[in-house]
Amino acid sequence: MQPIGSGTVAVSFEDHRADVLLDRPEKRNAMDLTVVDDLRAAIETVDDREDVRVLTLLGNGPVFSAGMDLELMAEADMDGHQEIYDGLRGVFDGIEALSVPTVVGIEKAAIAGAFELTLPFDFRIIGADAAYGLKETKLGIFPFGGGTQRLPRLIGLAKAKELVLKSDTIDPDEAERIGLVNEVVEPGTVDEATRAYADELATRAPMGMTRAKGCLNSAFDVSLEEGLDMEYERSREVWDSHDHREGFAAMLEDREPEFEGE
């Protein structure tokens, strides 16, 4: 693992997978401004690598993240609020904007700001005993890291209102049932399951994956006609490619394809 910035986040690379690690275990990986800065730098480091086909985010230690650092949140004045917002917005938007698939592994807890941190990811893997949810309205504020905007887009408005306004955790099995998480795994196996999920994604054709992700992310922002036109144009970008020819050849020859991303 390569430390990033101040060392509260680390990055490593294996084959076509990038692993980002929250590395503040003595504070249950709670996020202060240093962590947010390091996380932003880690995402930029991954984004600059052409060989990466999938990204994971995990937490060092027994807990993914306890959320935002409580002292930071309690003491921040209005200027501090702006600094927190700008930092989180930059990180969360950066994760969402990545062209490659992203997978986050949630071990033991992802509360409040950490819950919101998981929302821009494409896939969420969670331990069966994890505490997962929001608590801001119990603290005199409300979620401002995407909880009122990304969450309804994932699970619908009624359930999002319940999670935001009641500020209770959601049972992992219920989270899977409503489509908030993709897979519930045994406690202690989250890291392994997350990397396995990512490795499977990394075997898919990268050109098709990135363009499909872009179309999917735009699906609710454009009209159906515009979306279908975009889908067609993106499909033309992959049609005359090595990976297209390789994929069909491998299928006809009953072997695993060797995609090159071109």
Task: Give residue-wise pLDDT tens across range 14-72.
Answer: 999 999 999 999 999 999 999 999 999 999 999 999 999 999 999 999 999 999 998 99
Between CA 163 and CA 232 the distance in angstroms is 37
pLDDT above 90: residue 197: yes
| E strand segments, the chain | 2-4, 9-14, 17-22, 54-59, 102-106, 109-111, 123-127, 131-133, 183-185
Asked whether 16 and 198 are in contact (CB, 8 A), the reply is: no
Task: Give residue-wise pLDDT tens across range 65-101.
Answer: 999 998 998 999 999 999 999 999 999 999 999 999 9
Between CA 149 and CA 157 the distance in angstroms is 9
Give me the mean pLDDT over the 1-19 stretch. 95
Q: Which two tokens stand for residue 202?
A: 């990394």
Q: What is the pLDDT of residue 62?
A: 93
Between CA 195 and CA 54 the distance in angstroms is 10
Q: Could you give all domains of the chain from N- to C-terminal order, each with its CATH number? A: 2-203 (3.90.226.10), 206-253 (1.10.12)
Amino acid at 33: L
Burial 184-217 (b: 16+ CB within 10 A, else e): bbeeeebbebbbebbbebbebbbbbbbbbbebee
4 pLDDT band (50/70/90 cuts)? very high
Q: What is the pLDDT of residue 260?
A: 86
Asked whether 118 and 124 are in contact (CB, 8 A), the reply is: yes
Beta bridge mates, 104: 57, 124
Q: Which two tokens stand for residue 245?
A: 């020819």
Q: What is the pLDDT of residue 164?
A: 97
205 pLDDT band (50/70/90 cuts)? very high
